[in-house]
Amino acid sequence: MEGIIDFFREPWTFEFMQRGLLAAAIVSAVAAIVGSLVILKGMAFIGDALPHASFGGVAVAFALGESLYIGGGIAALLTALAIGFISRRGVIRNDTAIGIIFVGAFALGILIVSRQDNYTGDLFSFVFGNVLAVSWNDVWLTAAVAAFVVLIVLLFYKELLFNAFDPTMAQASGIPVAWIEYGLLVLLALVTVIAMQTVGIVLVVALLVTPAATAQLLTRRLSTMMLVGAAIGVTSSVVGLYVAWYADVSASAAIVLTATAAFIAAFLFAPARGAVWRGGARDA
């Protein structure tokens, strides 16, 4: 019995694991909340593009010796606004515009890094994530940004919901849909910045999309989808960190794969909507 308790307690006797858990839990909760809106609006590709584009800013900040967060944040914001601007003009397809901009910014990052002679380990922790290397400062910054994002979602919940569900009617009702669209992109940029350190650029989209998509299979209202998604994200962080500790594997990959497993389970077995029950009904 004590063995079991020790098994569960051991990882958290180390402070870097406590910090890692806090950062991962905060990030995955807020990513699921914003991610719910992202998947409902079909913006998953933008959710992948912003983290990649922010790498350009991270690299510029690294070369200049400035804060990598601020560099990544500025790049993510600029990319978000550029995508919003171009897609509202309607000259080229939205996803084409996204593809052009984010790969350009990412390539800029690679170009700059290729000229750096000094140690680039910090940069690679942004690409692949290094949740166990976060400092207390990182944790507080993450918590502050996450609190701000949640506050904005709470304040503008009504507008975000209406615009995601029925933008035509929202606009006809006098809701400022253009501002809501840009605002959502800015929220996405903020989540990107705090998620980069935790799971890394290439896996941010998983935190945005996977827990939210799992929650959509289990709920029938946006507000509960956000809460259930956040709970799945937090649970995946805890389970993922255990897996990382005992199997000695990458924490970010373990967190993401735990979330993926949760999605597969919900996809197969969600009440009424699971593939297993639906498959049976179709055969009958």
Partner 1 sequence: MSERADGPTTWALDISDVSAGYDGHKALEGVTFRIEPGCLAGLVGPNGAGKSTLIKIVLGMLKPWSGEVSIFGRAGKPRPGSVSYTPQVDLVDWQFPVTVSDVVLMGRYGGLGVVRRPGVRDREIAASALERVRLTAMADRQIGELSGGERRRALIARALTQQGDLMLLDEPFAGLDAAAQHDLISLFQSLVTEGKTLFIATHDLSCVDEDFDHAVLLNKHVIAFGRPADVFTTESLNEAYDRHLMVVRSGQSTYIGL
190 makes contact with partner 1 (CB under 8 A)? no
275 makes contact with partner 1 (CB under 8 A)? no
* CA separation for the pair 71, 63 (Å, rounded): 10
The token pair that represents 121 in the structure block: 């380990």
105, amino acid identity: A
- CB 224, min distance to partner 1, A: 8
260 makes contact with partner 1 (CB under 8 A)? no
Cα 12–chain centre separation: 24
120 makes contact with partner 1 (CB under 8 A)? no
Site for partner 1 in 121-150 (CB under 8 A): none
160 makes contact with partner 1 (CB under 8 A)? no
14 makes contact with partner 1 (CB under 8 A)? no
Binder among 18, 94, 120, 219 for partner 1 (CB under 8 A): 219
- CB 269, min distance to partner 1, A: 19
Q: Are 79 and 105 in contact, with CB atoms under 8 Å apart?
A: yes
Residue 253: count of CB within 10 angstroms of its CB? 19
Helices (H) and strands (E) in the chain, counts: 14, 0
In the three-class reduction of DSSP (H, G, I as helix; E, B as strand; rest coil), residue 210 is classed as helix
* CA separation for the pair 32, 39 (Å, rounded): 10
Binder among 148, 158, 264, 269 for partner 1 (CB under 8 A): 158
266 makes contact with partner 1 (CB under 8 A)? no
Q: Is 117 exposed, middle or buried (0-12, 13-18, 19+ CB in 10 A)?
A: exposed
220 makes contact with partner 1 (CB under 8 A)? yes
- CB 119, min distance to partner 1, A: 47
Residues 6+ apart with CB under 8 A from 160: 37, 153, 180, 184
Site for partner 1 in 16-75 (CB under 8 A): 40
Which residue's CB is nearer to partner 1, number 44 or number 78?
44
Which residue's CB is nearer to partner 1, number 25 or number 175?
175
Residues 6+ apart with CB under 8 A from 13: none
Binding part of the chain for partner 1, among 18-26, 107-115, 171-179, 195-203 by CB under 8 A, reads 171-179
- Interface residue list for partner 1 (CB under 8 A): 40, 155-156, 158-159, 161-162, 164-166, 168-176, 216, 219-222, 224-225
